[in-house]
Amino acid sequence: MKKSIQLGELTIEITRKAVKHVHLSVHPPMGHVTLVVPTHTRLDVARAYAISKLGWIRNQQTKLQAQARETPRQFIERESHDLWGRRYLLSVLEQETKPGVKLDHRRITLIVRPGSSREKRAAVMHHWHRALLHQTMPALIQKWQLVLGVTVNGYFLQRMKTRWGSCNYRSGTIRLNTELVKKPKDLLEYVVVHEMLHLIEPTHNPRFIALLDTHYPNWREARAELNALPLAAESWGGPG
């Protein structure tokens, strides 16, 4: 059951779960605060705990607000674009042919029809990003199905404003943010493992953390790196 408490202008979402310890989190990009408490914790006790941590909360929110933001791309000549953690210069080629994207070791070439709008160029790039992820995902899922002993019934790619990924353990499917194509591949793998582990344990309880520790020991470093990278202008948060 979820409730919320108000501390001045700060709203904290309270969730009661079958846990032994409280878990206080400040989520990117805007510093949304959640507090998970043991099932029978009184609301006034949760409030007192939150008040005692106000300094820490404000510090975390300040760090998030100072975090770099990726400015909106205009898809113009010599603009920088990230792919798999590397930065490339964009070359725009206008010609009467089917739009597409080509990649070499130094640049990304965006092929569009003359007079194409920013939105059309963005759509061509997004289609290419999805194709790259579709090329990468099957082998990654197959690898971790064998390791974890789970079956992924399907995966979906979409833009998400608040998560890097999500899992529907009832249907056995995972969902990934297409922005991950801009990040190093090991961070994509971390998100995939995180979501696949939710097929074993749906919540972020101690058992889930233990599974992460076992199967992806450097997950804390991966999560920190993921959240330290520039965020898209549409912006969002961490794995669910």
| Domains, in order of start, for the chain | 2-66 (no CATH), 80-228 (3.30.2010.10)
Residue 72 has pLDDT above 70, yes or no: yes
Q: How confident is the model at residue 109 (pLDDT cuts 50, 70, 90)?
A: very high
Q: What is the mean pLDDT of residues 88-97?
A: 95
Q: How confident is the model at residue 36 (pLDDT cuts 50, 70, 90)?
A: very high
Closest CA to 30 of 67, 4, 70: 67
Residue 38 has pLDDT above 70, yes or no: yes
Closest CA to 121 of 81, 85, 157: 81
Q: How confident is the model at residue 238 (pLDDT cuts 50, 70, 90)?
A: very low
| DSSP string over 77-123 | TT-EEEETTEEEEEEEEE-SS--EEEE-SSEEEEEE-TT--HHHHHH
For residue 142, give Cα distances in angstroms to 138, 146, 181, 182. 6, 6, 19, 22
Tens-place pLDDT, residues 117-160:
999 999 999 999 999 999 999 999 999 999 999 999 999 999 88
- Proportion of the chain above pLDDT 70, given as a percent: 90
- Proportion of the chain above pLDDT 90, given as a percent: 68
- Provide the pLDDT for residue 31: 81
Q: How confident is the model at residue 66 (pLDDT cuts 50, 70, 90)?
A: low
Residue 111 has pLDDT above 90, yes or no: yes
pTM for this model (two decimals): 0.69
Residue 216 to residue 41: CA distance in whole angstroms: 32
What's the mean pLDDT when you consider all of the chain? Answer: 88
Q: How confident is the model at residue 68 (pLDDT cuts 50, 70, 90)?
A: low
Tens-place pLDDT, residues 181-202:
999 999 999 999 999 999 999 9
